[in-house]
Every structure is written in structure tokens, then in C-alpha cells.
Amino acid sequence: MSLLNVQGLGISFGGLKAVNDVSFKVSPGEIVSVIGPNGAGKTTLFNMISGVYQPGRGSVSLNGTEVTGVAPNRLAEMGLSRTFQNLQIFQEMTVLDNVLAGYHLSERGSVWADLLALPGMKRRAAEARAGARKLLERVRLEKAAEQVAGNLSYGALKRLEIARALALSPKILLLDEPAAGCNAVETEEIDHLIAELAASGIAILLVEHDMKLVMRISNHIVVLDHGEKIAEGDPATVSRDPAVIAAYLGTEEEEPAHADG
């Protein structure tokens, strides 16, 4: 059974249909990529699935439960985790604290335990800290653990966001352009990391502009243009699809429209 099921999802901003009637499924261990030109509605789609935007139409279900428009923190409790295209790092906190924040659901307790530093709180926090250090090693940021996150390079922050998202032990992970701004070596590392995560049974939904990366690791690709799904299938099928080629390269009639955007 599919873990994430998106049916006819759509949203309009002031009469403009930013996303319209998009449907697809993601199963455990599967890597599904959403691609399309800039402004195609990929991030908007992510924001609807993760509860940041309320969808105008359609439905999202997670593990068989209808979750359309459910708040992000409730979705996190149900095993959905995400990263952001425009980094959403806790800049003033240390790198380690950023990942620890990702352990919120497993380390939270009563506020009295927190104020009085009771042993139960210390034990939960110590477990979270051990897990966070392992995750930092996994994204090679263990040496920066005590640094303030705001001082890290862009590529390092991208990896930090992935580590924070993994701290939730998600069933499904939404990655919004994880390789943007990364050099070739970093991109390859992220490539390996995503493949590993999928192999461990996590469902991956990926938005990415690096076509080589997408074609290499995706099981299934959904192509959006102007908010509509114009094609889907395995990488080989999608890359030969005339509608996809037209959307990316533009056809003669469409040329002026693209110049505007």
C-alpha cells in the first residue's frame, strides 16, 4: 500500500491556479521526484502536503489516514518530515541544538521536569543528544556541533536540515532541493544519503533541479508545468516525453511567455 497518497490536489492564489489537480503516490522505500521549470508549483505542492498551506481542492492521505490540511506538528507526529528550499535553520542555535530540536517529539515531557532539570528530562535529553551526534556524523558535521548554525556555509546548512529532518525518524521525507547550491562532491554525498535512506525503507519525495541526480536515483518522476501534472513515469519514459521536453526547452509559441517569467 502506498504511504502517501495525493489525490487531485490544488490551490489558487488570487485567482491564479498555482497547483491544479495533481495526483500521485509514494510507497515505503520508493524515491519519487517532482520536477518542472521554475514557478511550476513544486514548492507549493510540498507546502500543501506538509500542512504549511491549506489545500483548496483535493486530498492527502498518510498511511491510509486522511490528513488534508492537518497542522505540520501533527503530521510530524504521524511520521512526515521535510526540508526547505529556502533554508529554515534555527540560526541563533548551535548546530547540535538544531538537530536536538528535531528530537522534540521523543524528548519532550512536562514543563516542570524542564524547569527543575529532573532526572527524567536529563535522561531523555541525553538519549536525544547521543542520537543527534550520530546524525551529525552521518552528514559530516560532527566537528561543527558546538558552532552557532548561522556561521555555517550554505552546503553545510543544507546537510544540517537533512539531519534535523532525520531526527524525527520519519516514515516519509520531503526534500525540497537538497542539492541546490552544493558542489559536485557534496551533491554526490547527498545522492548516496538519499539512496541509503530509501533502502532503509523511508519513502522519499524529492524536488530537485539537478537532472543528473534526479534521473539517477528516482524510481518515479512527476513532471509539473504551470501547476499541472504534464507527465509521469520512470526516468527513461519521462526524459523522452515530448511534453516534458517542450516544457523545459520551450516551443516557439511559448517563447515570449517564458521570457516574461
Partner 1 sequence: MTGRNKWISLGVLALLIALLPLFFPSGYYYRVGALIFVNALSVVGLVILIGYAGQISLGHAGFAGIGAYACALAPEHLGLHPALAVLLGAVISGVMAALIGKPILRLKGYYLAVATLGFGILVSMVLTNERALTGGPDGMNVADLGLRSLLRDMGWRLSGGEFWYMICGVVLLVGAWLALNLFDSPSGRAMRALHGSEVAAATVGVDVPRQKLRAFVISAVYASVAGSLLALQNGYITPDVAGFMHSVEMVTMAVLGGVGSVLGATFGAAILTLLPQVLTVFAEYEQLVLGLVMVLVMIFLPQGLLPSIARRLKGRDE
Site residues (CB under 8 A) for partner 1?
A: 50-52, 71-73, 75-77, 81-82, 84, 88-93, 97, 100-102, 104-105, 107-109, 111, 113-117, 121, 124-125, 128, 164-165, 167-168
Nearest approach, Cβ of residue 83 and partner 1 (Å): 9
Nearest approach, Cβ of 228 to partner 1 (angstroms)?
26
- 24 or 53: CB nearest partner 1: 53
Least separation in angstroms between CB 102 and partner 1? 5
Q: CB under 8 Å to 70, separation ≥6 — which residues?
A: 51, 78
Cβ-based neighbour number of residue 86 at 10 Å: 8
135's CB contacts (< 8 A; 6+ apart) are 99, 163, 166, 167
CB of 202 to partner 1, least distance (A): 16
Q: Which is nearer to partner 1, 92 or 252 (CB)?
A: 92
Tell me how far, at minimum, the Cβ of 67 lies from partner 1, in Å: 14
Looking at beta carbons only, is 154 or 216 nearer to partner 1? 154
Number of CB atoms found within 10 A of residue 186's CB:
19
The nearest distance, CB 242 to partner 1, in angstroms, is 37
Closer CB to partner 1, 70 or 217, in the complex: 70
The C-alpha cell at 237 is: 519514459
Q: How far apart are CA 76 and CA 68, in angstroms?
A: 14
Q: Closest separation between CB of residue 253 and partner 1, Å?
A: 39
Beta carbon nearer to partner 1, 4 or 238: 4
Q: Do residues 221 and 234 lie in contact, with contact meaning Cβ atoms separated by under 8 Å? A: yes
Q: How far is the CB of 22 from partner 1 (least distance, A)?
A: 21
Count the residues in the chain.
261
Q: 36 or 51: whose CB is closer to partner 1?
A: 51
Residue 223: phi, psi to the nearest 5?
Answer: -105, 125
Q: Is the Cβ–Cβ distance between 60 and 111 less than 8 Å?
A: no
For partner 1, give the closer residue by CB, 51 or 58: 51
Cβ proximity to partner 1: between 32 and 173 the closer is 173
